[in-house]
Structure 1
Amino acid sequence: MNSLVVLPVLLPFLVGSILILLVKRHALQRWISGITMTALLVLSIILAVVVYQDGIQISELGNWEAPFGIIFVADMFATLMVVLSSIVGFTCLFFAFRTIAPVREKYYFYPFYFFLLTGVNGAFLTGDLFNLFVFFEVMLIASYILIVHGSTNYQLRESFKYVAINVFASLFFIVGVAYMYAATGTLNFAHLAERIDEMEQTGVLNVIAILFLLVFAMKGALFPLYFWLPRSYYGPPAAIAALFGGLLTKVGIYAIIRMFTLVFNHDPTFTHNIILALAGFTMFFGVLGAVSQFDFKRILSYHIISQVGYMVMGLGLYTQLAIAGAIYYIAHHIIVKAALFLFAGAAQKITGETHLKKMGGLLGSHPVLAWMFFITAISLAGIPPLSGFFSKFALILSGFEEGRYIIVTVALIVGLLTLFSMIKIFMYAFWGERKHTEEQSQMKIGSVLLPIVPLVALTIIMGFAAEPIFQYSEAIAAELLEPDVYINSVLKE
């Protein structure tokens, strides 16, 4: 068994289980959590390097060969996602050390934090459909706890929609798994790809494909199933909101890309045109929600919706350039969105507010916070030379090459409206007359900003080093569009 492939799942699960026993020893929990998160980040980078150099790595639990046993598969796409989850997990954890209230900390915050990462990493690395369902449920159960953590009235009220929509999504998921097994006789991804390639029942497969698209659209907040997200992500503390905003919807997007490049690639004229239409509606309606808001965190929450539209746009176009742009965009958005939510938390810590009309003058009192926010904000909007520009450029270029002018127009309009809403935050919260007290303006937040610095640095590096990073994205896209590489690695053919 290749233990390196399993460690990103096994390590957070074991540490989360241990931390349950240490729930009253807060200092010890912090030390263990910090060391574990650092180790997880290092392990994920090592795994990504090994896969890049030596090819796809497989771990067959109990030495049961695929397609019969439980299998973990680390290809370049999965390992990139594991690295990104570790980066965001690392920064959000150390931000939580500085900001989480003691009353929240003592109610199993750290164990469920690691259980969430267990589910996320498991979803990225699993090699079969049923275990994808299992890891989704692990992730969701932990997220149910974290999203109501602190038990404020607002959290309990608004998180009900989050729980309800995900319960329905899980129900449809298990129904889809049953239909898939009935149609193909297998649930292993590689074996599914082989069986579906041999089947001639396109109509049945299209029905199952749309069912899974519905499931992952619920979890990824695609149009019209995004209504649960903005208010649900508003309530939790900044560290949890950043973890959710950066990671959770991307697990759904990862599942869509994985399934519709490896398994459901039998009729792209039908399936991928639907995905492209969903991308356009998701971008447009998501950004309209952001533009209409006057609350720091709610604007960022609506932008999660609009930005996932760009990711599935790349899949809908279904070219190597477009998918490479989508992968680049996923990496950019995970980093930038987590940073923006953490900046919102830092601003709230100073002013006690997130409503923009009650904020102002942070540029004068906390210039480092203001300019770090500005960098990540214009990166989200796609301003060169930051990471958001190059990922969007690849998607726009691919759209022009394929003659998909409507989706390109929508993407460009959404980019302009994103810039408008980010400038609105900067003008209200950071510019203008100071609305917080003298005592608040003297508050020292260097230790709060320190965990966010790596995220800001990454969006700058990803912009200035766009060529090698895009080459890596293209290599991932080429691997995704050549499913035989995955199939032969898993089934050893």
Structure 2
Amino acid sequence: MINLLLLPILIPLVTAILLIFFKDRVVWQKALSLVAILFQLAASVLLVRRVYLEGIQTLNIGSWPAPFGITLVSDMLSALLVLTTSIVALACLIYSFYAIGKEREKFYYYSFFQFLLVGVNGAFTTGDIFNLFVFFEVMLMSSYVLLVLGGTKMQLRETIKYTLVNVISSALFVIAVGYLYAVTGTLNMAHLSIRIAELGQSSVLTIIAVLFLIVFGLKGAIFPLYFWLPGSYYAPPTPVLALFGGLLTKVGVYSILRTFTLLFYHDTSYTHALLGWLSMATIVVGVIGAIAYRNLRQIVIYNIIVAVGVITFGISLMSPESLEGSIFYLLQDMVMKSVLFLLVGIVVYVTGTNDLNKFSGLIQSYPLLGWLFFIVALSLAGVPPFSGFIGKLLIVKASLTEGLLFEAIIVLLSSLLVLYSVMKIFMNGFWGEKKGYEPKPIGALYVPVVFLILLSVLYGVGIEFIRPFIVEATSVLVDPMIYIQAVLKE
């Protein structure tokens, strides 16, 4: 029963190990990977249901009680993120079957795909700050391999930069954890919340909080720590890029959301104000990049940065409404960034280029592709009733409630400029004279794209069904004692 909490980690871990033994049997690799993702998806759905019906789920590894042992915890936020991870992974896996190439398949692509999910799901469900670091490393080690598979010059160059940045980030993470343990004497996040409250958020703890913000800001690509993202995310093949765009930066954002609502929330006058300022700068930088480029991948990459800024700004406000908006937007953005990268991948497959100046008139040969792109553009911009609307609306309302008119205007303007940045792909690439490509069959590549877009539309129009789950997730962030009591059984 309670092993539901372990399954999202155990299933991909066992699968990743098994796949190593099928190096030359690509069909078996595909079949095992697909079955594993489907089982993980089923386990994720059951986990969401159990958390909704029974409350926060905990699992003490080795029967050592918290805070002494390793604890896995799933509140509604964690459960929803694990579910969304499974959905994104399923779509990217299906796309990989047709687009990743035989060479990469024979060099353990599907195995490291599964190892990446171990790290992501573990980060979402761990109740221990040190094991958050461990799962980060599992995720990053897998991402290094996925990034370099194929061995092009650009991939090798960007992998070196990506690895260097993350080695520095990991070193800072260990230092931050060490200082936090030295001050509080514990690593369990629920117990840390109690100890920090007892000690008071002194200047030492504020410095530690800022250090964690730097670490997670590097992972999540917050200004000015986003510099590694445009190059590193430009290099990998489309399904890897879609997986990275949907999941990796979101783990960093989740870590900020968890630690700055559970641990470092007792004195928000500096830490959360700093997060708010950095979020505004992140939005502005992301918008400028998205508008300036006429390269398909770079436009989408800078839109990732915009979304990170919007989500973290909602976190910085620390109100029930803003946190609810951040959760809404985080979940939908995981899906939308993945599907946008998959769509861009199809366009590049057809045209052979990322340069928007070199092709046009795609809608004449691919009307379905064009209108799918149009739907995604509206959703990214937060146009009602699509999925991006409700999250931004709640964050803007919370900003106005706090008297932050300028910040609310920035968020609203970012929606218009995001729409412009994506619509210029639609208007320049799909309309106009047919040039720069020869029609190619797309076929099965449409399947994961349509799957994710349908889910996104349902997420927007089915808001009354989904909102109770988001409200429950928000309630734990607003009242940390719910989390603490569930973990420590107090």
Paired residues of 2:52 and 2:469 also in contact (CA < 8 A): no
1:483 is aligned to 2:445: no
SS in 2 for 1:73: strand
Written as runs of structure 1 = structure 2, the 5 A alignment for 1:341-420 is 341-420=341-420
| Residue aligning to 1:450 | 447
* Superimposed CA distance per residue, residues 304-333 of structure 1 (whole angstroms, 9 cap, x where no aligned partner): 011100110111111000000000000110
Structure 2 CA distance for aligned equivalents of residues 298 and 200 of structure 1 = 44
1:370 Cα shift? 0.9
| Residue aligning to 1:434 | 434
* Superimposed CA distance per residue, residues 193-215 of structure 1 (whole angstroms, 9 cap, x where no aligned partner): 11111003511110110000000
* Superimposed CA distance per residue, residues 49-72 of structure 1 (whole angstroms, 9 cap, x where no aligned partner): 101110011111111000111110
* Superimposed CA distance per residue, residues 44-103 of structure 1 (whole angstroms, 9 cap, x where no aligned partner): 111011011100111111110001111100110111110011000000000000111111
Where structure 1 has 5 or more consecutive residues not aligned to the other structure, the ranges are none
Q: Point out 4+ residue stretches in structure 1 off by more than 4 angstroms.
A: none
1:431 Cα shift? 1.2
Structure 2 CA distance for aligned equivalents of residues 402 and 345 of structure 1 = 41
Written as runs of structure 1 = structure 2, the 5 A alignment for 1:55-66 is 55-66=55-66
Structure 2 CA distance for aligned equivalents of residues 412 and 45 of structure 1 = 34
| Residue aligning to 2:330 | 330
Structure 2 CA distance for aligned equivalents of residues 44 and 483 of structure 1 = 23
Identity of aligned residues (%): 46
| Residue aligning to 2:161 | 161
Name which of structure 1's ranges 159-168 and 54-63 shifts more when overlaid on structure 2: 159-168
* Superimposed CA distance per residue, residues 160-207 of structure 1 (whole angstroms, 9 cap, x where no aligned partner): 221111111100000001001000000000110111110035111101
Structure 1 CA distance for aligned equivalents of residues 475 and 60 of structure 2 = 25
| Residue aligning to 1:177 | 177
Written as runs of structure 1 = structure 2, the 5 A alignment for 1:11-410 is 11-200=11-200, 202-410=202-410
Structure 1 CA distance for aligned equivalents of residues 446 and 30 of structure 2 = 18
* Superimposed CA distance per residue, residues 137-180 of structure 1 (whole angstroms, 9 cap, x where no aligned partner): 00000000111111100111122221111111100000001001
Return the match for 2:489 from 468, 487, 492: 492
Give the letter aligned to residue 293 of structure 1: Y
SS in 2 for 1:425: helix
SS in 2 for 1:21: helix
Structure 2 CA distance for aligned equivalents of residues 213 and 200 of structure 1 = 19
Structure 2 CA distance for aligned equivalents of residues 336 and 201 of structure 1 = 37
Distance verdict in 2 for CA 1:225–1:179, change over 3 Å = same
1:2 Cα shift? 2.5
SS in 1 for 2:43: helix
Where structure 2 has 5 or more consecutive residues not aligned to the other structure, the ranges are none
| Residue aligning to 1:468 | 465
| Residue aligning to 2:425 | 425
SS in 1 for 2:6: helix
1:278 Cα shift? 1.0
Give the letter aligned to residue 137 of structure 1: E
Structure 1 CA distance for aligned equivalents of residues 467 and 399 of structure 2 = 17
Name which of structure 1's ranges 248-257 and 383-392 shifts more when overlaid on structure 2: 383-392
Paired residues of 2:200 and 2:266 also in contact (CA < 8 A): no
Structure 2 CA distance for aligned equivalents of residues 373 and 163 of structure 1 = 33
Paired residues of 1:88 and 1:243 also in contact (CA < 8 A): yes
1:445 Cα shift? 1.1
Paired residues of 1:12 and 1:36 also in contact (CA < 8 A): yes
Paired residues of 1:202 and 1:266 also in contact (CA < 8 A): no
SS in 1 for 2:22: coil
1:43 Cα shift? 0.7
Structure 2 CA distance for aligned equivalents of residues 387 and 308 of structure 1 = 16
Name which of structure 1's ranges 461-470 and 373-382 shifts more when overlaid on structure 2: 461-470
Give the letter aligned to residue 260 of structure 2: F
Give the letter aligned to residue 261 of structure 2: T
Give the letter aligned to residue 369 of structure 1: L
